[in-house]
Amino acid sequence: MDLRLTAKAAATDAERAAVDEVLGPPASQWEGGERRAQDAHVAFGGRAARDRRHLLITVLHAVQEQAGWISPGALDYVSQRLTVPPAEAYGVASFYALFRTSPAPGAVVHVCDDVACQVAGAEELCAEMTRRFGHEGTESALNGPMSNGTAVTWQRSPCLGKCDRGSAALIQRAGAAVARRDIAPVTPDAIWHALTAGESPAEVPLGVLVPQLSQASSRTGSADSTQATAPAPAAGTVSLLRRLDHIDPSSLGSYRAAGGYEMLRRAITLGPQGIIREVRDAKLMGRGGAAFPTHIKWDAVAGNPVRPHYVVCNADESEPGTFKDRVMLEADPYALVEALTIMGHACGAEQGYIYIRGEYPTAEARLAHAIGQARAHGFLGADVLGAGFAFDIEIRRGAGAYIAGEETALINSIEGKRAEPRNKPPFPAQSGLFGKPTAVNNVETLLSVLEILRVGGPAFAAVGTEASTGTRLFCLSGCVAVPGLYEYDFGVTLRDVIDGAGGVAGGRPLRAVLLGGAAGVFVGPEALDMPLTFEGVRAAGATLGSGVVLVLDDTVDLTALLRRITQFFRDESCGQCVPCRVGTVRQEELVARLVSGTPLGSVTSELALLSDIGSVARDASICGLGQTALSAVESAVKLGLIGADS
């Protein structure tokens, strides 16, 4: 039976070409090609098509980049090529925020209004966008040498990972040589120039700060491109950031001159079990928030008799306020390629995947170039460095889904499915990508492995504290003098981290700090001497999460910030389980009532209801999104930032 979304739907020649560029030309009528005589009697290639099911999201990206949206005809053609039921394909296309399943203009501008950008004036920027381009969601005509009669619309967006640069925007443009372009700091004039003149203003330098290297560190990444100087904090260890701003991210030779690929050679000498032993001796805990011992995960995959094995790098940092992966991938992409190769060797995997945010076009391009160069020079391929083991890497681009940061949701997304978390057990080490043993780690964790092999596991463990070893990356943003990415030994205090970024901007009073992002917690000035370790923040009822340190002074509208957090979780819940799907909506409604001064009953009863919703979400949600969706608001209540009777 020939199933279609609509009986009259037909892909255009351009849409078919976009699909065929990814999948190759169709071989028969059954795949959407020309009818052959034998097609009336027999169909071949069904299994081969099903084996490419994982390319669904890649193909949808190709269609949208060509046509600007995913039409019913294009979706039917994609379904036919991959033998995916149209309803399932539509379910995938409609799940991800960056995909459009209704007609859209040729250019769509996503303007970040999330927590860090709110502090940087996102509401004022959105008001300016309305004056320049019309109300959100409406179309405006473009006139310019590169506009080609294209129309444009704009919409608000969750975090784009440019929190250190002020307000940010992502432009998606159909049929253009550059389909995606990110701009930060951004103004309506900069967006207009990028759309009509075909180029964007020069990017400011990366927001990378390594204050331990000198008595003072400067950065030209502020909105007006003026220099700001951070006072030097206490001396510490610089490891993950040591190459940043010192190498050319497009040059393999530059990376090797700085010691690149020496750790892969050492890893080959150590062998898989030797690598895992060093990681165990280093006491490396995952840097993604769960703080799971890395060596246990790797050893479980390496020892699993089921083949093949897979390794995956989670570079889908969608936590509001987080930008460390973007900085590292843009400035030091070869390091991740080397680290993932080492992980693959340790786990006995021949194939690795890097799942990167769809909002990171520059990072993706630099990473793709690094992988190509590594492959061309024998650092990837059938015989890595002539050492007798095969390993290669593919990049998979996300499409706007915060939930894809959860490891099993990420695995589903790589497989071309909706990014919905799986029930555990089984854990990925037993049954992960394509049902095979899989190890998943984030960018910072993998880069820490390079440092472990450089200095040795015991020496790495000697840095930091007994339970929190090594260094940690912190994303400083908000009302801080010098926003940027900082590296410190575990055990540094929150006060030192903020002072190392120049303190609160303008010397204003500190009101609160959001630690760990939207899924984290607010802490007050009394927490400034808290040691930033896994055990230290846990004892204080806080979390390090993804390393977000969003500084808030007395001028910030915290009620608006809290409403944005509740809206974020309402929108980002995948909807798979009731506690999260319903709880995030009820939280948003409840906070809206408190902010507007119209509680149902008393404020006390509303706060009791909020506590009940939070308890159910923590206890019964499938994944960490639902379990932490109310953490920030509940911590704000405890600090008296919201809900106090007046």
- Residues 186-224 have pLDDT tens digits of 999 999 888 887 655 444 444 444 433 322 232 323 333
Rounded to two decimals, the pTM is 0.93
pLDDT category of residue 273 using cuts at 50, 70 and 90: very high
Residue 37 binned pLDDT confidence (cut-offs 50, 70, 90): low
Burial class (CB in 10 A: 0-12, 13-18, 19+), 356: buried
Query: Which pair of structure tokens corresponds to residue 604?
Result: 């006390």
- pLDDT average, residue stretch 432-459: 97
- Quote the percentage of the chain above a pLDDT of 90: 82
What are the contacts of 180-187 at 24+ separation with CB within 8 A? 180/358, 180/361, 181/361, 182/359, 182/360, 182/361, 182/362, 184/160, 185/120, 185/223, 186/111, 186/125, 187/125, 187/128
**548: confidence class by pLDDT, cuts 50, 70, 90:** very high
pLDDT value at position 47?
A: 72
**171: its two tokens:** 């432009």
Using CA atoms, how far residue 39 sits from 20, 33, 375, 639, in Å, is 20, 10, 40, 70
Averaged pLDDT of the chain: 90
DSSP string, 343-378: HHHHHTEEEEEEEE-TT-HHHHHHHHHHHHHHHHTT
* Residue 312, beta-bridge partner list: 353, 440
β-bridge partners, 152: 107, 140
The pLDDT tens digits of the residues spanning 490-513 come to 999 999 999 999 999 999 999 999
- With bands split at pLDDT 50, 70 and 90, how would you rate the model's confidence at 123? very high
**CATH number of 286-448: 3.20.20.70, 3.10.20.30, 3.40.50.11540, 3.40.1080.10?**
3.40.50.11540
Number of Cβ atoms within 10 Å of the Cβ of 526: 9
With a cut of 80, say whether residue 288 has pLDDT above it. yes
CB 196 within 8 A of CB 205: no
Helices vs strands, H then E, count in the chain: 24, 16
Tokens (6 digits) for 285? 């805990």
Where does 471-553 sit in CATH, by number? Answer: 3.10.20.600
Q: Is 236 exposed, middle or buried (0-12, 13-18, 19+ CB in 10 A)?
A: buried
Answer yes or no: is pLDDT of 4 > 80: no
Q: Which fold has domain 558-638?
A: de novo design (two linked rop proteins) (1.20.1440)
**Is residue 230's pLDDT more than 50?**
no
Average pLDDT over residues 12-36: 83
Instruction: Give the model's pLDDT for residue 223.
Output: 33
pLDDT in tens, 135-148: 999 998 876 555 56
Secondary element (H or E) of residue 300: helix 294-302
Q: Estimate the crossing angle of helix 333-347 against helix 324-331, to 10 degrees.
A: 100
Residue 177 is predicted with a pLDDT of: 85
Encoded amino acid at 245, one letter:
D
Residue 30 pLDDT grade (very low, low, confident, very high; cuts 50, 70, 90)? low
pLDDT at residue 143 in the model: 67
Over 519-588, what HEC string results?
CCEEECHHHCCCECCHHHHHHCCCCCCCCEEEEEECCCCHHHHHHHHHHHHHHHCCCCCHHHHHHHHHHH
Burial of 452 (0-12, 13-18, 19+ CB in 10 A): buried
Residue range 162-166: average pLDDT? Answer: 92
Tell me the pLDDT tens digit for each residue of 581-605: 999 999 999 999 999 999 999 999 9
Better-predicted residue by pLDDT, 150 or 101: 101
- Helix H, strand E, coil C: the string for 592-646 is HHHHHCCCCCCHHHHHHHHHHHHHHHHHHCCCHHHHHCCHHHHHHHHCCCCCCCC
230, 228, 236, 231: which is closest to 212 by C-alpha? 236
CA distance 318 to 401: 8
Closest CA to 58 of 361, 315, 396: 396
pLDDT over 70 at 300, yes or no: yes
Amino acid identity, position 222: S
CA pair distance 297, 302, nearest whole angstrom: 9
Q: What pLDDT band is residue 40 in, cutting at 50, 70 and 90? A: low
- Residue 497, φ and ψ in degrees, nearest 5: -65, -45
Report domain extents, the chain: 13-93, 107-196, 286-448, 471-553, 558-638
**CA-based nearest residue to 403, from 177, 253, 214, 569:** 569
Q: Which CATH number fits domain 107-196: 3.90.1200, 3.40.30, 3.30.420, 3.30.1490?
A: 3.40.30
What count of Cα atoms within 13 Å lies in the side-chain half-sphere of residue 168? 28
Average pLDDT over residues 84-88: 93
For residue 94, the one-letter residue type is: S
Query: Over 60: is that where the pLDDT of 236 sits?
Result: no
The larger pLDDT score, comparing residue 295 to residue 26, is at 295
Average pLDDT over residues 264-291: 95
Angle at 27 between CA 26 and CA 32, to 5 degrees: 45
What percent of the chain is predicted at pLDDT more than 70? 88
Q: Which structure tokens are listed for 102?
A: 């209704």
